[in-house]
Structure 1
Amino acid sequence: MTRNAPLLTLLAVGVLGGGLFATNHLAAPPAGDAVRVAESATAPGPPAAAPRIGTIPAPGVVGVVPDPAAAAGADRDAGARPDEIAYAGRTEGRPMTVAVVVTGDEAVAYVCDARDEVWLRGTATGGELDLRSADGSATLTGTADADGATGTFTLDGVEWALTAEATDVDAAVAAGRDDVADVADRAGMAY
């Protein structure tokens, strides 16, 4: 290796960097020119919405850059079905949590406390709930509408009244009711 090799390497890197800088600087029009080109390409009429700060519209393109978060929310709302509803509540007389999800004419429920947990599946036809556990030891019957659900939960022959308010799954989870999300997932609810 010669004594001049490091200097020649630095010189080559400097020339390459300068060439890339010049190419980049000459290839892209200044931000003001891009805006002027976009404005001149539009027909006369009401002024277009200003682009978001930090964006440079391409020549001939006018408008606002869409907000990705809003687009994701629109897609999520488009997937939700109007015949899906979740309920969160409790039994009376024995403090058991109740989570019910209705999707169309089908319903899934989860009832639990420190001693027992029961999954139930059944129908929700005409606002009437009729659910049973897989082993037949528990039933949940009652009515459900846009505001809430009321009825009876029976486990091994013992009955408890239940009430549950209609809820948004995300709001229920935020309030500490993860069971509502578990039931919604099991029911195939789009939330």
Structure 2
Amino acid sequence: MNRLGPVLTLAAGAATAAVLGVLSTAPSAAPDAPGGPSEVALATSQAAPAPAEISKATGTPGAARTAETTGTAVPVPARADYAGRVRGDGGLIAVSVRGGRAVGYFCDGRSEAWLKGRVTGGTVALTGPGGASVTARLDGGKATGTLELGSREWRFTAPAVKKPSGLYRATAVVRGATVRAGWIYLPDGSRVGLTLVDGEPVDVAVPEPGENATVRGEQVGPEDVDEFIGEF
């Protein structure tokens, strides 16, 4: 359709004026919009990015944006201790962080796993003998992640704890035998541990927090994480 100009020539005559009067009473598309209003709306919706796309492209905060999508680094304390329960297993797990270094311990009273690793970007990754591993996110005052032991896997959440709760280790030589024990204490009074003598489990009661264990009639004292993390 040609655009109608604002001025009519006298040569058109009365007949042309009559035709123009009829056209003026009928709806028409806006100038330069061949497809009419519906096609204009469609073209506009296709050309304009959705709100989420605008936020992603420009960095403008949107309702769906989270710390994970923005890549915001989670601050990790230089020194922290976490301890909690392993879901579906009944055992306890402890993770301690000292600077960028981390150590972990799992125990259910019958089996155990010592693990070591590093903290990077708010995530701790630990490995141990026999294919044991722990991957956990340190955020919101807790460590949340996965424990793998061989083909088995469990989830856990371990809140931050203060001494005397947390992880302890004991090492000694008793009557020529090498003794090693690991103990985890929770704030609610729950505790678990395992004592090995020359690599074999022995029946030794988990002592009260801060107290010694009795192994073959001799006292074996606990070591705090600060005392042994450098050995891992």
TM-score by length of 2: 0.41
More strand by share: 2
Q: Which has the higher contact order (CA 8 A, sep 6+)?
A: 1
More helix by share: 1
TM-score by length of 1: 0.49
